[in-house]
Amino acid sequence: MKFYDREEEMEALEKAFSLTRSRSSLIIVTGRRRIGKTRLVREFFSRKNIPYLDFFVSVKEESLLLEDFQDEIEEKLGYSPKFENFEDLLNFLFKTQDKLAIFFDEFQNFLKINPSIIHDLQKFWDRYKEEKRFFVILSGSYIGMMRKVFLLRKSPLYGRADLYINLKPLRPSTVFQMLNDLGVKDLEEKIKFYGIFGGVPKYYEYLELFRERTFFDFLEQMLKFSSILQNEGEALLIEEFGRAHKIYFSILEAIASSRNTLVEIANAISQKPTTIPKYLKALEEYFNLISKENPVLEKKTKKSRYIINDYFLNFWFTFIRKNQNLVETGNYEALMRKIEGNFSNYFGRVFERIVKDILLELNQRKVIEFDEIGPQWGRSKKGSYEIDLVATKGNKALFIEVKWRDNVNGIALFKELKEKADLTKWKGEREFLIIAKSFKKRAPDALCWDLKDLEGLMNS
């Protein structure tokens, strides 16, 4: 599959590489598995036509890994001595070489093999970074472990990096273009794909293998013939969480099932509310797996709820982990019936997040403009209310209702949305937007966008 987007990251790598005119440059690239870190680095080297040593840090005995590195050095440089340990490797590279590009992929695995290489690298880097002109890229998938290696003040490599790239998911428009190139032309189908796989490019490569152009057919093929859907959640997270993975998994499963306040989560996993804030904080700040939402129109509030950031993990905890018995017995037909039977209900909330992503991208491109966007909920004398999204700019607020439905009555929805807006404390100007798959009636006093309208805006 061809390489998409990442132009900002390419420019940042280009600037970092330019430092090697006078000294060495160290780059850190992190992000969740399958987000495209390795592809980004190799694409950069390919575009620049830069020879480099490509070291993949697989989890194996130190002596075997060093043999792999020796083979790579001999192939690229023509000669390699035998290394007894990683210090020997670094000693050879830094003392005998110069003007050399080196890529360590899955660098955090050194913590499992021999953590001393991190101290060794710091020693050699500090000694030779000004004297020589190395271009070193260290990449890693486990965000918590990479933070431990590079971002904690007590880490040997803290503050050494010239550039730290936390690779984010691709934007909706890029994913939609990718899907279009892969033969998925219908926007509704594209939205379904994005709502499950998000902006993670690796998942879409399977479209080249299975050649299914409808979402549910593709999903069924993935279940039957790929381990990704079955085991991906555990593969992504168990290494991150270590011994505490059971309670973290329980919390994420509770959030995926819409029990997303602190008390609801604690009740769901049979814990006292006072015992789980440390886990929630770690999931949010250390692992970057969840976000805490607050009502967007209320600056000081304790009304918080949590969401899983990653579209795929949200789906995995909702449907795959919960039905692990069907996966283990290979009863994929029954699992697909469960997914399809509950999909519309599940996807309604997901579509709200997709719309938010689309609006954020349109805001970056100045197609629409706002300062903040998010959900709004609360209580008033007339009862509780919830508004899908509110976008604010100065004293103006755009109240947004999102429906994953066809033939929506926009007039009736506008009336409901206006009534809910009246329950908020917003005193400024108000506008209204309703987004649906299609409309039976459009409200004359509100913007009404169907999928075709969204597609037109994204292509503008």
- Using a 10 angstrom Cβ sphere, with 0-12 exposed, 13-18 middle and 19 or more buried, the burial of residue 141 is buried
Mean pLDDT of 102-112: 92
Residue 348 belongs to some domain of the structure: no
- In degrees and rounded to multiples of 5, residue 375 shows phi and psi of -75, 160
- Using a 10 angstrom Cβ sphere, with 0-12 exposed, 13-18 middle and 19 or more buried, the burial of residue 429 is exposed
Mean pLDDT of 153-179: 91
Question: Domain boundary residue among 186, 202, 226?
Answer: 226
Strand partners, 390: 374, 399
For 189, residues 6+ apart whose C-beta sits below 8 A from its C-beta are: 179, 213, 214, 215
Give the 3-state secondary structure of residue 380.
strand
Q: Among 98-107, 138-147, 312-321, whose mean pLDDT is lowest? A: 138-147
Residue 258 belongs to some domain of the structure: yes
Of the two residues 158 and 129, the one the predictor is more confident about is 129
User: Residue 435 maps to which CATH number?
Assistant: 3.40.1350.10
Mean pLDDT of 124-151: 87
Token pair of 407, please?
Answer: 């033939």
Residue 343 belongs to some domain of the structure: no
Query: Are 92 and 209 in the same domain?
Result: no
Q: What is the pLDDT of residue 101?
A: 98
Residue 340 belongs to some domain of the structure: no
Q: How many residues does the chain have?
A: 460
Query: Are 93 and 146 in the same domain?
Result: yes
Query: Are 185 and 262 in the same domain?
Result: no
Q: Is the per-residue pLDDT at 33 higher than 90?
A: no
Query: Are 189 and 68 in the same domain?
Result: no
Domain hosting 222: range is 172-226
Q: What is the pLDDT of residue 396?
A: 97
pLDDT digits (tens, 9 = 90+) for 142-165: 777 777 777 777 788 888 999 999
**Confidence at 360, pLDDT banded by 50, 70, 90:** very high
Residue 347 belongs to some domain of the structure: no
Q: What is the pLDDT of residue 244?
A: 82
Query: Are 20 and 109 in the same domain?
Result: yes
pLDDT digits (tens, 9 = 90+) for 195-208: 999 999 999 998 88
Question: Domain boundary residue among 143, 166, 189?
Answer: 166
Residue 21 belongs to some domain of the structure: yes
Residue 134 belongs to some domain of the structure: yes
**Confidence at 238, pLDDT banded by 50, 70, 90:** confident
Query: Are 206 and 241 in the same domain?
Result: no
Q: What is the mean pLDDT of the chain?
A: 92
Nearest to 113, CA basis, from 86, 149, 138: 86
User: Residue 100 maps to which CATH number?
Assistant: 3.40.50.300
Residue 431: what residue type? E
Query: Are 451 and 363 in the same domain?
Result: yes
Query: Are 160 and 69 in the same domain?
Result: yes
Q: What is the pLDDT of residue 228?
A: 79
Q: What is the pLDDT of residue 387?
A: 97
Q: What is the pLDDT of residue 129?
A: 95
Mean pLDDT of 172-195: 95
Q: Is the per-residue pLDDT at 239 higher than 80?
A: no
Query: Are 385 and 404 in the same domain?
Result: yes
Q: What is the pLDDT of residue 439?
A: 97
Q: What is the pLDDT of residue 286?
A: 83
Nearest to 205, CA basis, from 224, 195, 218, 186: 218
Query: Are 253 and 176 in the same domain?
Result: no
Mean pLDDT of 440-444: 96
CA torsion, ordered 111, 112, 115, 121, to nearest 10 deg: -60
Query: Are 109 and 257 in the same domain?
Result: no
Residue 346 belongs to some domain of the structure: no
Question: Domain boundary residue among 314, 330, 346?
Answer: 330
User: Residue 300 maps to which CATH number?
Assistant: 1.10.10.10
DSSP per-residue string spanning 268-292 = HTT--GGGSHHHHHIIIIIS--EEE
**Confidence at 287, pLDDT banded by 50, 70, 90:** confident
The span from the CA of 137 to the CA of 160, in Å, is 12
Q: Is the per-residue pLDDT at 302 higher than 90?
A: no
- In degrees and rounded to multiples of 5, residue 102 shows phi and psi of -135, 135
DSSP per-residue string spanning 53-118 = EEEE--SS-HHHHHHHHHHHHHHHHS-----SSHHHHHHHHHHH--S-EEEEETGGGHHHH-THHH
Query: Are 13 and 38 in the same domain?
Result: yes
Q: What is the pLDDT of residue 364?
A: 95
Token pair of 152, please?
Answer: 């904690």
Overall domain count for the chain:
4
Give the 3-state secondary structure of residue 398.
strand
Q: What is the pLDDT of residue 242?
A: 78
Distances (CA, A) of 225 to 200, 210, 220, 221, 437: 20, 9, 9, 6, 31
